[in-house]
Amino acid sequence: MATAKALSETHFRLPGQTAFYRGKVRDVYFVGDRLISVASDRISAFDHILPKPIPYKGQVLNQLAAHFLRATQDICPNWLQAVPDPNASVGLYCEPIRLEMVIRAYLTGHAWRTYKSGKRELCGVPLPEGMKEHDRFPQPIITPATKAEEGHDEDISREDILARGIVSEADYEMLEKYTRALFQRGTEMAAAQGLILVDTKYEFGRRDGRIYLIDEIHTPDSSRYFYLEGYEERQARGEEQKQLSKEFVREWLMANGFQGLEGQLMPVMPDSFVQRVSDRYIELYERVTGLVFEKADSDNVEERIQTNIQRYLSDQNR
């Protein structure tokens, strides 16, 4: 079977394009008051982009994000307007709020590493004594992070957010309200598919005085899922939870001596592992949505995306 071609990056010049931004995973084109987000197949971990892209990862992320943005638009206004290509979304430009609203229902990942180090507070939120890895919190906790232009995002408490004037108290309360409501909806949608939404992050922006949900939500790049079936039994036996996220990529990197620290050499994933990562992303899409993933044509993926975007823009301008 021929290996699918992966999309590392795009180099479009779109009609009316005024600016361009390349993030860790997305290439973003600004056209008027809209932005066009192209999900590449790049993969990042520990705030570093890995050398090899993952086939179909961008399509998974783009279609998952659109699925959840449409399913939550009654809770919070969001930026999405159209999905002209499996890898591309068009939406309203919003001025980003430099925060990631991270919400956690379980003592997993960064929260567990903090807890294991002996700390009993994360972002000003007290952590109960006597917990073990992957235990459920009495209620989900919000542990925000400052959104860095480059390098590592940093944990920050509600008090520090207000003290620094990142947002007003009224806006922060709205961000918390939206975060909890979105997470509740995501939790319900996951449970309907036999999954647990463990933790996730939301990003917000402003437009015309309103707060909008921006970026992706509930994707494997921004979220962690456990399989619901067997969760309690695995916890009782002290076994690892069966995860559906990119945490296994981080674990592979750590096992190969890389955590994004200075002086560490980024290991190159073998093709067999790249294929495994691709399969896991597709599995996550199908498990989370209950839909069959239809692989888009990858022969001339960059040309396909550009053609579909330009057709959409042309139709809009008629």
CB 216 within 8 A of CB 194: no
Lowest mean pLDDT among 2-6, 28-32, 98-102: 2-6
Q: Which fold has domain 96-244?
A: D-amino Acid Aminotransferase; Chain A, domain 1 (3.30.470)
Contact indicator for 90, 310 with CB cutoff of 8 Å: no
| Start-end of CATH 3.30.200.20 domains in the chain | 17-94+270-316
Provide mean pLDDT across the span 93-111: 96
Q: What is the pLDDT at residue 150?
A: 59
Encode pLDDT of 166-193 as tens digits.
999 999 999 999 999 999 999 999 999 9
pLDDT average, residue stretch 306-316: 94
Residue 149 predicted with pLDDT over 70? no
- Residue 73's SS3 state is coil
Q: What is the C-alpha separation between 125 and 104, in angstroms, rounded?
A: 11
pLDDT in tens, 272-282: 999 999 998 99
> Is pLDDT above 70 for 256?
yes
DSSP 192-204: HTTEEEEEEEEEE
From CA 126, how far away is CA 111, in angstroms rounded?
A: 11
Q: What is the mean pLDDT of residues 255-275?
A: 93
pLDDT, tens digit, 9 for 90 and up, residues 44-77:
988 889 999 999 999 999 999 999 999 999 999 9
**Average pLDDT for the chain:** 93
In our burial notation (b when 16+ CB lie closer than 10 A, e otherwise), range 108-144 reads: bbebbebbeeeeeebbebebeeebebbebbeebbbbb
User: Nearest-5° angle of CA 93, CA 96, CA 100?
Assistant: 135
Query: Could you tell me the pLDDT band of residue 284, with boundaries at 50, 70 and 90?
Result: confident
Q: Is the pLDDT of residue 247 over 90?
A: no
Question: Which of 132-146, 236-250, 284-298 has the highest mean predicted lDDT (pLDDT)?
Answer: 132-146
pLDDT recorded at residue 3 = 67
For residue 260, is pLDDT > 50? yes
Cβ of 47: how many Cβ atoms within 10 Å? Answer: 12
Instruction: Tell me what pLDDT residue 1 has.
Output: 44
pLDDT at 151 over 60: no
Question: Cα(193)–Cα(123) distance, rounded to whole angstroms?
Answer: 31
Question: Looking at the predicted structure, is the pLDDT value of residue 2 above 60?
Answer: no
Q: For residues 250 and 234, what is the distance between their CA atoms, to the nearest angstrom?
A: 22
Fold for 17-94+270-316, please state it. Phosphorylase Kinase; domain 1 (3.30.200)
Q: How far is CA 199 from CA 55, 142, 183, 233, in A?
A: 25, 10, 8, 20
Q: What values do phi and psi take at 161, rounded to 5?
A: -60, -45
- Which residues, 6+ apart, have CB-to-CB distance to 241 below 8 Å? 108, 134, 226, 227, 231, 234, 235
User: CB neighbours (10 Å) of residue 213?
Assistant: 25
The dihedral formed by the CA atoms of 94, 282, 224 and 184, expressed in degrees to the nearest 10? 60
| The model's pTM | 0.89
Query: Between 44 and 90, whose confidence is greater?
Result: 90
Please give the Cα distance from 12 to 147 (Å, whole number).
Answer: 27
Question: What is the SS3 assignment for 152?
Answer: coil
* pLDDT over 90, % of the chain: 84
Residue 260 to residue 151: CA distance in whole angstroms: 10
Residue 263: CB atoms within 10 A of its CB come to 4
The boundaries of every CATH 3.30.470.20 domain in the chain are 96-244
